[in-house]
Amino acid sequence: MPKDSGTDLRDAPASPATSPSEEMYLITVALAEERRGEERLAVAALARELSISPVSANQMIWRLAGRGLMDYHPYQGVALTPAGRAAARRVLRGRRLWRAFLVGHLGFGEEEADALACDLEHLTAPRVADRLESFLGHLAPSVAAGRGSR
């Protein structure tokens, strides 16, 4: 399997007791890094992306920072720590694999597949992702690397 930014996704540990809500914060920051190439994301931008208030975003950011998953400095925005980045990559890997499966094998449209994959990503253990990747075969490398996903 190809490596993504130097980290083998199969080695990314599952964050213990990370909720789907916490995972959404992590992957939102990770996707912003991918799209914009920015290391830090403003709290207001994160809140807007998640359709929540900046106060709610700030509370979760402090929680994730306390768990070592985010780095936050007031007025400088948030960034993922190595552990946060690994957790986000693990979740995004599941999303991208499910999306490829739903579009390529079940015939879902891209928009519906994105929505379903977003739900399934939070339930996908690394072992399930490995088997899904094996099943997908030739589709898996481009999907796991992030091409063809939002």
Domains 18-80 and 89-144 share a fold: no
- What is the rounded CA–CA span in Å between residue 26 and residue 69? 8
Q: Which residues in 58-85 are b (16+ Cβ under 10 Å) and which e?
A: bebbeebbebebbbbeeeebbbbbebbb
Q: Which residues are within 8 A (CB) of 62 and not within 5 positions of it... i.e. 6 or more apart? A: 72
Q: How confident is the model at residue 98 (pLDDT cuts 50, 70, 90)?
A: very high
At 32-53, the pLDDT tens digits run 988 888 789 999 999 999 999 9
pLDDT band for position 17 (cuts 50, 70, 90)? low
Please report the pLDDT score of residue 1 as a whole number: 36
Please, what's the b/e burial string for 90-103 (b: 16 or more CB within 10 A of its CB; e: otherwise)?
A: bbbbbbbbbbbbbb
CATH of span 18-80: 1.10.10.10
- Whether the CB-CB separation of 4 and 146 falls below 8 Å is answered with yes
Architecture of domain 89-144: Orthogonal Bundle (1.10)
Could you give the 3-state DSSP secondary structure of residue 9?
helix
Among candidate residues 33, 145, 123, the one with its CA nearest the CA of residue 82: 33
- Model pLDDT for residues 136-147, shown as the tens digit of each residue: 986 655 554 554
Domain assignments of the chain as residue spans, ordered by start: 18-80, 89-144
Query: Is residue 148 predicted with pLDDT exceeding 70?
Result: no
